Amino acid sequence: MLEDKHNIKAWFYLAPAMVLLIIFTFYPIFNAFFLAFLRDFNYLQGTWEGFTFFENFGFVFRNPNFRDALTNTLIITFVSVPIAVIIALLVSVWLNSIVKFRGVFQTIFFLPYVTNAIAIGMAFAFLFNRNFGLVNTMLGWIGFSPINWVGLRATWGMAMIAFLVFTTWSSLAFRIMVFLSGLQNIDKQYYDAARVDSTRRYRIFRRITVPLLSPMIFYITITSFIGSFKTYTEVIGMFGERLGPPGNDRAMITMVALVYDALDRSGVTGALSEAAAAAIVLFGITLFFTLVNMQVSKKRVHY
């Protein structure tokens, strides 16, 4: 009896959040799956010709940009995420060990987090400018001739390198913050014990810091993978709506960009279903790698 009463109350408390979640999250998810299996759905007239299992996915896989989008997304994820996680880990360990100017450095490293991705992208596009970008200027000091990173008809490879530097850097802030708070929760006595036992610094890092921080590392890795599979804003920020260097349009297309491409054509019969199917493909990829991640880290994460 008593519990029933509590139950009703609990649902009331949950209601505001629940209503919003149902309208803006659960319904769209359900709808995306629904749309992906409609044949010849016309968005403007709201009509469709029954259901199909594979047709819309066929459109996605046959899209001329699909392979580029998939390759780019996978490269961005598998290069930038591990590098960014490792750099964030090292920076946060360093930040945690200094006393002087720690607040200043923390602020500096955290700034990208509160800055708009588009603005950072534009700043990086300028840094990588062929003629007056800081990167080429600095490379010039050590004898390199200017490289066309993101300029007219820049190659896919150069554009990708510039983009990876940018995404890696801009994603550091949040990771450093999470790692720092994790580090501050590690009992100092473990380090005292390790010192008394004459443990070298690298060994302390590898045998004590990393295992004790492993839940955070795991969390960051999973969320970074998921976030990275959804890369889109950063591409717009650096390359604009061309999704690539001028003259090499769509070279930097990603999976999410593919979804938006299809949405752009939503007046065309079947295009909205194709967008939904592309989103589900992306969901499948994300789910797969998340499960792999969880499996791999099972033995390495110490709670």
Give the residues lining the site for another protein (CB under 8 A). 187, 189-190, 192-200, 203, 207-208, 211-212, 214, 302
Instruction: Report in angstroms how near the CB of residue 198 gets to another protein at its nearest.
Output: 4
Please report the sign of the dihedral spanned by the C-alpha atoms of residue 47, residue 51, residue 55, residue 60: positive
Q: Which is nearer to another protein, 45 or 189 (CB)?
A: 189
**CB 179 → another protein: shortest distance, Å?**
17
Contact indicator for 231, 221 with CB cutoff of 8 Å: no
Q: How far is the CB of 109 from another protein (least distance, A)?
A: 25
Residue 12, both tokens = 């009331």
CB of 168 to another protein, least distance (A): 29
Q: Which is nearer to another protein, 213 or 282 (CB)?
A: 213
In the bound state with another protein, the residue whose beta carbon lies nearer, of 60 and 216, is 216
Q: Which two tokens stand for residue 98?
A: 């200094």
Candidates 157, 137, 159; CA nearest to 146 is: 137
255-264 helix and 271-297 helix, angle to the nearest 10 degrees: 160
Q: How far is the CB of 213 from another protein (least distance, A)?
A: 10
Return the number of the residue (9 or 302) whose C-beta is nearest another protein.
Answer: 302
Closer to another protein by Cβ: residue 6 or 195: 195
Least distance in angstroms from the C-beta of 174 to another protein: 25
Residue closest to 77 by CA, chosen among 244, 285, 280: 285
Distance CA 46, CA 53 (A): 19
Of 96 and 199, the one with the shorter C-beta distance to another protein is: 199
Judged by DSSP in three states, 51 sits in: strand
Determine contact, residues 276/282, Cβ cutoff 8 Å: no
The least distance separating another protein from the CB of residue 184, rounded to whole angstroms, comes to 17
The rounded distance, in Å, linking the Cα atoms of 33 and 55 is 13
Task: DSSP letter for 48, please.
Answer: -
CB of residue 200 vs another protein: minimum separation in angstroms?
Answer: 7
Closest by CA position to 156, among listed 250, 66, 232: 250
For residues 215 and 240, which CB has a smaller minimum distance to another protein in the complex?
A: 215
Minimum CB distance to another protein smaller for 3 or for 197: 197
Q: Using the 8-state DSSP alphabet, how is residue 44 labeled?
A: T
DSSP string, 217-281: HHHHHHHHHHHHHT--HHHHHHHGGGSSSTTSTTTT--HHHHHHHHHHTTTSTTHHHHHHHHHHH
